Amino acid sequence: MKLFRTAAAAVLLVCIDQAAFATTQNVIFNGTITATCTLVIATNGTMTASADLQSLSSHNSGGSAGTVTLTTTGGVSLSVDPVTTTTVPAADVTATTWTPTYSSSGAHTITETGSATAISTPGADLVSVHLAGTKGGSNRFASGNYQATVTLRCE
Amino acid sequence: MISARTLTMALTVAVTPVAAGAQSMSPMRGEVNSFTDVFAVRVFPANPYDRKIKVEIHVYDQDFQPVDARISPSVFQLGSQASRPVLVVVPFGGATERKVRICTESIPFPNQQTQIRAQICGKFFGHRKS
- A93-143 residue pLDDT tens: 999 999 999 999 999 999 999 999 999 999 999 999 999 999 999 999 999
Q: How far is CA B106 from the centre of its chain?
A: 14
Cα–Cα nearest to A118, from A151, A81, A83, A155: A155
Calculate the alpha carbon distances from A64 to A38, A58, A91, B108 in Å: 23, 5, 25, 18
* DSSP β-ladder status, B53-60 and B75-78: antiparallel
Quote the mean pLDDT of chain A: 89
Question: Please, which residues bridge with residue A64 across strands?
Answer: A46
**For position B19, what pLDDT does the model report?**
36
**For position A33, what pLDDT does the model report?**
84
The architecture of the domain spanning B2-128 is Sandwich (2.60)
**For position A9, what pLDDT does the model report?**
58
Domain map of chain B by residue range? 2-128
Q: How many CB pairs under 8 A join A and B?
A: 97
**For position B12, what pLDDT does the model report?**
35
CB spacing of A149 vs B27 below 8 angstroms: no
CB spacing of A149 vs B116 below 8 angstroms: yes
Q: Cβ contacts of residue A105 below 8 Å, gap of 6+?
A: A125, A126, A128
CA distance linking residue A36 with residue B27, whole number of Å: 7
Q: DSSP H helical segments within A33-125, as ranges?
A: none
Average pLDDT rounded to a whole number, residues B36-63: 94
A13-27, B12-26, B59-73: least confident range:
B12-26
Cα–Cα nearest to A67, from B49, B114, B47: B114
CB spacing of B26 vs A36 below 8 angstroms: yes
Q: Is the pLDDT of residue B120 over 90?
A: yes
Q: Are B33 and B40 in contact (CB under 8 A)?
A: no
CB spacing of A152 vs B117 below 8 angstroms: yes
A69-78, A127-136, B105-114: least confident range:
B105-114
Query: Which of B51, B114, B125 is the mutation pick for testing A, counting most A CBs within 10 A?
Result: B114
Nearest by CB to residue A36, choosing from B23, B117, B123, is: B23
**For position A17, what pLDDT does the model report?**
53
pLDDT cut 70: percent of chain A above it: 86
CB spacing of A154 vs B120 below 8 angstroms: yes
Q: Is the pLDDT of residue B7 over 50?
A: no
Domain map of chain A by residue range? 37-154
**For position A123, what pLDDT does the model report?**
97
Calculate the alpha carbon distances from A100 to A44, A66, A155, B110 in Å: 13, 11, 18, 18
For chain B, say whether A36 makes contact (Cβ under 8 Å). yes
Burial class of residue A1 in the structure, from the number of CB atoms within 10 Å of its CB (0-12 exposed, 13-18 middle, 19+ buried): exposed
* DSSP β-ladder status, B86-91 and B38-45: antiparallel
Q: Cβ contacts of residue A48 below 8 Å, gap of 6+?
A: A56, A57, A58, A60, A61, A62, A63
Q: What is A37-154's CATH topology?
A: Immunoglobulin-like (2.60.40)
Q: Is the pLDDT of residue A153 over 50?
A: yes
* pLDDT, tens digit, 9 for 90 and up, residues B54-69: 999 999 999 999 999 9
- Residue A15, SS3 per DSSP: helix
Phi/psi for A13 (5° steps) reads: -65, -40
The size of chain A, in residues, is 155
Average pLDDT rounded to a whole number, residues B39-61: 94
How far is B58 from chain A, CA to nearest CA, in Å? 13
CA distance linking residue A109 with residue A136, whole number of Å: 32
